[in-house]
Structure formats: C-alpha cells, structure tokens
Structure 1
Amino acid sequence: MFEMTDIESIFNMAAVNVKVNDIDKKAIITNPAINEFEERYIHTLDVIGQGDKVTYESEHYLVIAESVTKRHGKFKTLMRHCNHVFEIPGEVTEVLVRDENGKVVLDDYGMPEYDYIQGEPTLVPSIIDNKNFSIDGKQLRVPVNEIIIVVQDNEKNQKGFVVNKEFDLMGKRWKVLNQDYTKVGLIILTCERIASKA
C-alpha cells in the first residue's frame, strides 16, 4: 500500500508549476475528451475550489466543478479556459491640487481645486458564451441577443458587474441583467445586447 510520502513523490515527479489565485502551486494537468471548449483536469495535493483562477502556460482558467474529497490521494477537478479578459477601470481618487510650495490651489471662488486620478485597472479573466453554458451537465440556454459571462466570485467582481452595469464587448453594447450565485465560487452573469450610446 502506498504511503502519503510515496504519493507526494510520484505526484511531484509528474507535476508542473501553475498559479492558483496568483499563488504558486504544483499540479498535474490532464486532458478530458475533446469538445468545443478548452477544458483540462487539474490534480492537486491541496484542495482546489470551484471558482479558483488557475494560470497554466500563461493562460487563465476557471475551476468550474467542485472538488471536496480526495481521489487516490489527490484532489481532481475540471477547469475551463477563459476566452476573454475584462478590464475594469480602477477607482478614481480625488486629490487636492497643490502649487510648487505645497500650498492648496484655490479656484476663483476660494474653493480648493481637485485632480481626479484613475487607479490601475483590474483584469478579470472570464468565460463568455452566446449559446449555452453548462456546469455539472446542467445547461443554461441563452436567448438571441444575450450572453452568459462567468467570472470568479470576489468582491471586485461583485461590484464591477452589478445589475444594469453597461459595457462594450465584441463591438457591441451589453447590460448585466442578472447575477447568479448558485455555483459557489462563481458569478454567472446574464447580459443582453442593447443599443450603443450615440
């Protein structure tokens, strides 16, 4: 019977370097049956959760299946390639304008002047589909003029993709209709195409 140290030794010989939520990890990556999406199995010694972002060979993936128990001494789950990266603008900060001596600059009415500085944008790897999206064999059908966007569930994405948020994608204007949190670790957004702003 294999001991845990034997399993770890064998695992480490076959493992490659990946990042899970931007933290270096060792994993074994295998291919499932070929289908229209780039999907891979990821095997780890530590638990990996649904919604975790995996960076493998400079590409981003989202884990789309739960993995709560070990199989043969390791965890195994399914990840799907992120076919789009959103750029969410950084927060805007209000800063007092000062002169070369550090004194606050006032306007014609004696009120302080402000500069508005745009913070660094956040890059959000995502899965986008305009036909259907399935997790665990259950498919969400998408009507014409709608898309499904799947992103990692975190505070920035919850705020960045609120209902009625509008954004440009693929040369068209879209609006978030719904945020679905039924899959732990993931936000499944339903978005509809709207008329572009003039």
Structure 2
Amino acid sequence: MFNLFDFQDEDLSFLINETGQSVTVNGISDKVLITNKSIGEFEERYIHSPELINRGSLIEWNANKYLVTSEALEKRGGKYKVIMRNCNGEIEVKNYESVLIGYGSQTGKPIYEDRYVDSTYVNGIVDKKTIGGTSDQAINVLENEFILRIQDNDYNREKFVLNFEFLLYGEKYKIINVNYYLRGILEINIEFVSSE
C-alpha cells in the first residue's frame, strides 16, 4: 500500500538540508526539522530527525535550551519524532574541592577544608508540584514543592542526591526525592529552603 507520508531516505535528507534548523544535540551540531506543537502552557516543539534523539537529550536552538521529554523507539514515516520542551530553570551547582589544611595536634589525622572552585550550570524544567485531594479547591498545591526534570548523566546523578542544596532563581532549594524511572531524565522533587 502506498503511504504519502512515508519518506524515502533521500527525500527526507533533501527536506532537512533545504528547510531544516541547525541545532546542537548534547553539544554536537545537527540539522533537524522543527515543527510546532499545539499551543499550550509550555513552549514545546516536535523534532523530526533521521537519527534517533533520546529522551533527556539537551537541545540548543535559537539561543534557547530544550530538554527532550518523549521517547521514540522506532521510525515513523522514515524519521524519528520526539517532543522537546523549553528549559525554564538554570540550576547553579557550586563545586568544591577538599584541601588539606593541616593535621590534628592530638590525633595526627589530616584535616580538610572544602574550598569553592567554580559553579556548573544545569538546565532543566521546573514545574509546581500539584496533588489531588478533597478540598474546596480544584487542585491542591503544595506550597513550597516543585518537580525538577534534568538530563540523566553521570555528573547529575553524582550531584543531585537526597538533601543536596542548590541555587535556582536566586533561591536555595533542597532535594527531597529522586526518581529514576524515566530513561534519560532525572525527575527530582525539591522544596524551597531560603532566599539567598
């Protein structure tokens, strides 16, 4: 059966070369088709590519950063199609190193001090956490809790652990739970601690 939307590889390559957008996918330059998703609460777009783009990939396009939030396991119509969502939060993670400052006078054990080295900035999606329940409100909102979605990589797995504190929007937040169930994305429950 003939499928009008089933592109041949050469046709798709031509279309991407002629009308595609230049992006970086996890720091690597690429050219893809980007189309609009229906207008909603968030800035979301579809990415069409002959190459697989995994959930959790960080996309840079038009001076904005996006996180791929959907998963494509197989090609449809000769291409992979995933959804990317604009990262609305940049998390500052302060990096420290332990420096030997001396030895204990009575024990002789080394004494270390953590010294600030630099900051790493991690882009992610921040949503207000909502819960359902019985009240006179349509949605019960937990006052100071949010859900943070970031790329699942070695650095983020090492840093974003239970009770870790970091800066977001110039305020300090603490991790109260980390979910690993979405391949490619860490879904983290955070709560407000204090203003910096």
Q: TM-score range by the shorter chain?
A: 0.7 to 0.9
Distance 1:183 1:115, change over 3 A: closer
Residues 19-69 of structure 1 show CA distances to partners (whole Å, capped at 9, x for unaligned) of 000000111111111011010111111000000000001110000000111
Aligned residue for 1:156, secondary structure, equals: helix
TM-fit CA distance, 1:173: 3.4
Structure 2, gaps ≥5 residues long: 106-111, 132-139
In structure 1, the partner of 2:151 is 152
Distance 1:169 1:86, change over 3 A: closer
TM-fit CA distance, 1:115: 9.8
Residue 16 of structure 2 aligns to which amino acid in structure 1? F
Question: Over aligned residue pairs, what C-alpha RMSD do you find?
Answer: 3.1
Q: Distance in 2 between matches of 1:115 and 1:179?
A: 28
TM-fit CA distance, 1:71: 1.5
Matched, 1:175 2:160: no
8 Å CA contact 1:93–1:119 kept in 2: the answer is no
Residue 23 of structure 2 aligns to which amino acid in structure 1? V
8 Å CA contact 2:129–2:146 kept in 1: the answer is yes
Q: Distance in 2 between matches of 1:126 and 1:170?
A: 12
Matched, 1:86 2:91: yes
8 Å CA contact 2:92–2:167 kept in 1: the answer is no
Residue 173 of structure 2 aligns to which amino acid in structure 1? W
Q: Distance in 1 between matches of 2:65 and 2:195?
A: 31
> Any runs of at least 4 consecutive aligned residues in structure 1 with deviations exceeding 6 A, and if so which?
114-117
Q: How does 1:1-20 map to 2 (within 5 A)?
A: 3-20=8-25
8 Å CA contact 2:90–2:169 kept in 1: the answer is no
TM-fit CA distance, 1:172: 4.2
In structure 2, the partner of 1:193 is 192
| TM-score, length of structure 1 as denominator length | 0.77
Deviates more, 1:167-176 or 1:181-190: 167-176
Distance 1:74 1:142, change over 3 A: farther
8 Å CA contact 2:89–2:125 kept in 1: the answer is yes
8 Å CA contact 1:93–1:118 kept in 2: the answer is no
Residue 181 of structure 2 aligns to which amino acid in structure 1? T
8 Å CA contact 2:12–2:50 kept in 1: the answer is no
| TM-score, length of structure 2 as denominator length | 0.78
8 Å CA contact 2:161–2:178 kept in 1: the answer is yes
Which structure dedicates a bigger proportion of its chain to strand? 2
Residue 156 of structure 2 aligns to which amino acid in structure 1? N
Aligned residue for 1:89, secondary structure, equals: strand
Aligned residue for 2:24, secondary structure, equals: strand
What fraction of aligned residue pairs are identical, expressed as a percent? 36
Q: Distance in 2 between matches of 1:173 and 1:88?
A: 11
Distance 1:189 1:119, change over 3 A: same
Q: Distance in 2 between matches of 1:37 and 1:132?
A: 16
Q: Distance in 1 between matches of 2:25 and 2:130?
A: 26
Deviates more, 1:46-55 or 1:70-79: 70-79
TM-fit CA distance, 1:118: 4.2
Distance 1:116 1:173, change over 3 A: closer
